Structure 1
Amino acid sequence: MARFRIPLIIAIVLFISGLALTAALKDRHYMLLSLVLLLAALLPVFIRLERRPLESRELVLLAVLSAIAAVSRIPFAALPSVKPVSAIVILSAYVFGAEAGFIIGAVAALVSNIYFGQGPWTPWQMFAWGMVGLSAGWLRNAWWMKKRSGMLIFGFVWGFLFGWIMNIWYIISLPDASSWGLVAAAYASSFYFDLAHALSNVFFLAILAGGWTKVLERFRKKYGLLQE
């Protein structure tokens, strides 16, 4: 199992390095950096090609799930932090694993911002949603994750973790990012948005977990998609 995690760890290190670079560049070159991070997110796929060739339908599946996750943001654009993206990424990773979850989360953030607007926040969203998928994939065999309540709690927790990751981008963009008062104010002001994201994750997971998971598992078993 360790050999399957090494490409993901490399991708995560590249992502973190890229995010550190955004702190130095501030608001400059964010689009180029987002594309570089997209290649980092796809690194596990490139390395997988050395183990066995990916079938075209597997690439199509990743593209379709990424598109679904991205488009799902649009109907809820008027509701800040309420979005089914995290739920879709979690369920996709639960069925197809950490590699798929990481890629779907990162790609969904980049693609959806074609509609919502690209900015220096894009690389951070790519990382945050990528980590949602990565952690869901790594924990999918845990006994509590197999329970509906466990998955709902997982989604609730990630509603806050996602916001806390995004707060880092906001804090480093402030002129006095070293002020603990500003840091505390940033996290306090984001609480209700993070809570809305957490509750929406629970809501969408409760709706989608049954039917959505069964459909994806049926595709995986029937066509042998993204098997380790």
Structure 2
Amino acid sequence: MHSKLQANNIGLRSSLILLLTTAIGLTAFCWPLLLSADSQLSKTTAPILTALIIPLALLVVFTDLADGMLNSKAVALLGLMASLIAAARLFGTHSFGVEPMWALIIISGRAIGPSFGFSVGSLGMASSALITGGIGPWLPFQMLAAGWIGLLSGLIPFPKGRAEVPLLALFGAFSGIFVGLLLNMWFWPTAIGSDTSISFEQGAPFIQNISRLLAFTMATSLAFDLPRAIITALIISTVGAGMLRALRRAARTAIFVTEVQWQTQTSAKSLS
């Protein structure tokens, strides 16, 4: 008997929704790098695209419910993990890059699956924003970044066994750096003036602006990104194996407990 909530397993309709969400998200993140100086997509237009992210993240959950990939008990597990992620972000020391929530997102996506990882990451980020009052133009970008990390942790075909947790820890370290670079993109074009070597240059070649973005990241956020990468890898290395077992056991129970009860009742009726 195999669970439908295994890593690397994702429904067709959920895949289409996630592809649409990713396309919209990449457009919102990367529009300055991809468009020319005379483009009609302005700085005020691009953030409007991100308003679609929250309903699409919820739609992934509803689609999995309709397709039988999740049931009410698995959705309760989703709510529990999103709450834990929100609490972990609340108690994290953001000024030093200590953000334990990323480890929880990665472990959740790896244990239960990519669509679950995307939903728990994005909804956990939204929940923490409601708790802390951190609602602003940056929130959809943070939700996308968290969702993508959860999605990737479920999609990457890590081997199960002893190598799984060390490889997942390496992915956590990479995520800590990647998230910093990704989140810089939403405000970098307007963060500083246009007369520095790390400023965004409207209409410049793609490679040139990428080089400037990397230089901007090294000069501004790398001191926060490195601790995030180290802490995430350490948490996964320490508690990853136990959490993976617990979440996989909970996911199997969530999927099959109703089915087993129904079969038992049917068998009892047939014997009477």
Q: State the TM-score, normalized to the length of structure 1.
A: 0.83
Cα distance change, pair 157–223 in 1 and its aligned pair in 2 (3 A): same
* Aligned residue number for residue 216 of structure 2: 186
Cα drift, residue 75 of structure 1: 1.7
For residues 195-225 of structure 1, the C-alpha deviation after alignment (integer angstroms, 9 at most, x for no partner) is 1110011111122202211111111122327
1:11 and 2:30 aligned: no
Structure 1 regions of 5+ residues with no counterpart? Answer: none
Does the aligned pair in 2 maintain the 1:91–1:213 contact within 8 Å?
yes
Q: Which of 211, 219, 228 in structure 1 is aligned with 2:250?
A: 219
Are 1:150 and 2:167 matched, yes or no?
yes
Larger CA Rg, structure 1 vs 2: 2
Deviation string 1:78-122 (CA, Å, 9 cap, x unpaired) is 643211111001110111100010011111112212305222221
Give 1:37 shift. 1.4
Q: Tell me the percent identity.
A: 23
1:25 Cα deviation after fit: 4.5
Distance in 2, Cα, partners of 1:95 & 1:184:
32
Tell me, yes or no, if structure 1 residue 59 matches structure 2 residue 65. no
Please say if 1:133 is aligned against 2:143: no
Note if contact 1:33-1:123 (Cα within 8 Å) is conserved in structure 2.
Answer: no
Query: Which of structures 1 and 2 has the larger relative contact order (alpha carbons within 8 angstroms, sep 6+)?
Result: 2
Q: Secondary structure at the match of 1:63?
A: helix
Shift of 1:171: 0.9
Matches within 5 A, 1:95-174: 95-114=111-130, 115=132, 117-139=134-156, 141-143=157-159, 147-174=164-191
Unaligned runs of 5+ in 2: 1-9, 33-40, 195-199, 203-208, 257-272
**Given that residues 111 and 244 in structure 2 are in contact (C-alpha distance below 8 angstroms), is that contact kept between their aligned partners in structure 1?**
yes
Q: Is the 8 A contact 2:31 2:46 kept in 1?
A: no
Report the RMSD for the aligned CA atoms in angstroms: 2.9
**Corresponding residue of 2:37:** none
CA distance in 2, matches of 1:207, 1:45: 30
Higher helix share: 1
- Between 1:148-157 and 1:37-46, the stretch displaced more is 37-46
User: Which residue, 84, 89, 105 being the options, matches 1:68?
Assistant: 84
Q: Partner letter of residue 12 of structure 1? A: T
Q: In structure 2, how many angstroms separate the alpha carbons of the residues matched to 1:124 and 1:17?
A: 11
SS in 2 for 1:41: helix
Mapped to 2, the partners of 1:138 and 1:144 lie a distance apart of 13
Change (3 A) 1:53 1:130: closer
Contact 1:34 1:110 in 2 (8 A): no
Distance 1:10 1:184, change over 3 A: closer
